[in-house]
Amino acid sequence: MKKVMILAGGNDQIALMEEIRRYFKGDVEILLVDMSDKVRAIPFADRFLKISTMDKAAVLAAAREEKIDYILTACGDQPLSTMAYVATEMGLPTYLTEQDVRDLTNKRFMKDKMVQSGIPTARHIYIDKNWDGKLPEFEYPLVVKPVDSNGSKGVKKVFAPADLEKSLKEAFQYSLSGDVIIEEFKQGEELSVDLYVEGTKAKLLSITASKKIQENKDSFTIIQSYYPAPTDYKEERVLEICQKIADAWHLHDTPLLVQMIQKGDSYNVLEFSARMGGGSKYRLIQVLSGVDIMKVYVEMVMGEKPHVEPKKQYNNAIMSYIYCSPGIYKSVEGLNVLKEKGVILDYFIYRGPDSVIEKSNTSSDRAAGFLVVGDSQEEVEKKLAEANAALRVLNDKGEDFMRHDLFIKKA
C-alpha cells in the first residue's frame, strides 16, 4: 500500500484525494496536513496531521516518520514550496524543485525573469520595510501586493498617494519574506489562461474572464469566471506569450495558470504558476475542454506522460462564487435541487458548519460555488438568475445571509 501526504485541506484537495484513490484503486493511505482542524477535507483523508503546511521542518519530520511515498498539493502556491522541499530531502518524485517554486510563486523573482525574457508586464518596483518612500514616475492607480502571498491576501488597488501607506502596511503583514511589490495598474480585461505543458509544448485548455466584486474598489475579489471572455483577444498571441513563459522557466509536463490583462493589442502578464487554478477551476477546465486536469495531474506526478487533446464542449459557462454578509455559516440550501433540475451543472461547498464569515474580500471568504453552462450567453444568464433566486445560505440564526445582490446586474 502506498502512503500519500496531501498539503492543505480545501475543496480542491478533496478532488485530489478522490483522484488519488481512483489511481491506486483504493490501495492507498492518505495523510492530510493542515494547520486548521476545521478544514473540509479532513473526512476524506485516512488520517489528519495538524501541522502548518508552511512549516517545512515539521512537515519533513512527519513525512519521514510516516515513511511516505508521495507528497502532493493542488491549486495553491504557498504549499508548493514545502512539497518540493520535502520531496527533494526524501528523494521522492516531484515535478518542481524549490528554485522552480521560488521563481514561479515569488513575484520578485518572477517579475525579474519576465523582464529578462521579454514577457510583457507592468512597470514595478520592490520594497521592504526600509523603503525610503520614493517612487518612479508611476501613474495611479497602482497595485500593491506581497511578493509571496496566496489567494489575493494583501493585494490592494491604490488610487492616490494618500492611500499608499495603509495598503503597504497590509501587504507587509501578508508577506512571508518581508518584500512587497508596487506596480502600475493596467486597464483592460483580466484573462485567466489555463494550460497543460505536455513535454515542453503549452496546450491551451481554457481562457476565461474574471469578474470582480465592484464595491471592493481597492481589492480584486473574483465573483465569477466567464467563458467566453467578452473581449477581442487573439488566441494565438495569448498562446505565444504562455509558450514563452514555459520556455523561459524550462517547464515540462505540468499544469500552467497564467493571468494577464488584455486591451486591444496590449497584453500584460500579471503572474502565473505551475499549477491548476483554485476555486474548483479543475472542474471548469474539464467542462470547457474535456480534459480532466486533476486526473492528468495525478498521472503526471506518478511519473506517467499523459496526453491531452482539448476539445470545446460548451459555447458558454459561468463559474460563480457565493459570498455572505458577516455571520456564522451553517449551510447552503437549494444546490441539490438546482442540479437535479439542470439549472446548474455542478456545485462546490467551501465552508464547514459553524465557520465564521467576516467579510467578502478574498477567495478564502467564499461559502460555496456553482457552475452553469449553456449554448448562449442569454441561457447561462437566465440560469444564473434562477439559481440566485432559489439559493439560501443560512447563518446560526436561520437567516439567509447570502450576498444575492452580487449577482444582480446594475442598471
- Highest average pLDDT, of 56-70, 117-131, 266-280, comes from 56-70
Q: What is the mean pLDDT of residues 17-28?
A: 98
pLDDT band at 73 (very low <50, low <70, confident <90, very high): very high
User: What pTM, to 2 d.p., does this model score?
Assistant: 0.91
pLDDT value of position 288: 97
349 has pLDDT over 60: yes
Q: Grade residue 409 by pLDDT with cuts at 50, 70 and 90.
A: confident
**pLDDT tens by residue, 202-230:** 999 999 999 988 776 666 789 999 999 99
- 3-state per-residue secondary structure call for the chain: CEEEEEECCCHHHHHHHHHHHHHCCCCEEEEEEECCCCCCCHHHCCEEEECCCCCHHHHHHHHHHHCCCEEECCCCCHHHHHHHHHHHHHCCCCCCCHHHHHHHHCHHHHHHHHHHHCCCCCCEEEECCCCCCCCCCCCCCEEEEECCCCCCCCCEEECCHHHHHHHHHHHHHHCCCCCEEEEECCCCEEEEEEEEEECCEEEEEEEEEEEECCCCCCCCCEEEEEECCCCCCCHHHHHHHHHHHHHHCCCCCEEEEEEEEEECCEEEEEEEECCCCCCCHHHHHHHHHCCCHHHHHHHHHCCCCCCCCCCCCCCEEEEEEECECCEEEEEEECHHHHHHHCCCCEEEECCCCCCEECCCCCHHHCCEEEEEEECCHHHHHHHHHHHHHHCEEEECCCCECECHHHHCCCC
Mean pLDDT of 143-148: 90
Say what the pLDDT of residue 219 is: 65
What is the arithmetic mean of pLDDT over 82-105? 92
The answer to whether 175 and 147 have CB atoms below 8 angstroms apart is: yes
Q: Is residue 411's pLDDT more than 60?
A: no
C-alpha grid cell for residue 54? 508552511
Average pLDDT over the chain, rounded to whole? 93
d(CA 65, CA 71): 13
Q: Determine the pLDDT at residue 221.
A: 86
Tell me the percentage of the chain whose pLDDT exceeds 90. 82
Q: What is the pLDDT of residue 151?
A: 60
What count of residues does the chain have?
Answer: 411
How confident is residue 247, by pLDDT bands cut at 50, 70 and 90? very high
User: Across residues 256-279, what is the average pLDDT?
Assistant: 94
**149 vs 13, more confident:** 13
- Retrieve residue 38's grid coordinates: 476545521
Q: Is the pLDDT of residue 274 over 90?
A: yes
Per-residue pLDDT at 408: 83
* pLDDT higher than 90, residue 154: no
Query: Which whole number is the average pLDDT over 41-49?
Result: 97
pLDDT higher than threshold 80 for residue 63: yes
Query: Residues 163-193: pLDDT tens digits?
Result: 998 999 999 998 988 899 999 999 999 999 9
Please report the pLDDT score of residue 223 as a whole number.
93
**Residue 375, pLDDT score:** 96
Q: What digits encode the pLDDT tens for the residues 387-401? A: 999 999 999 999 999
All three cell numbers of 308, joined, read 491531452
What was the pLDDT predicted at 213?
Answer: 85
Per-residue pLDDT at 102:
87
- Residue 120 pLDDT more than 90? yes
Please report which confidence band the pLDDT of residue 410 belongs to, taking 50, 70 and 90 as the band edges: low
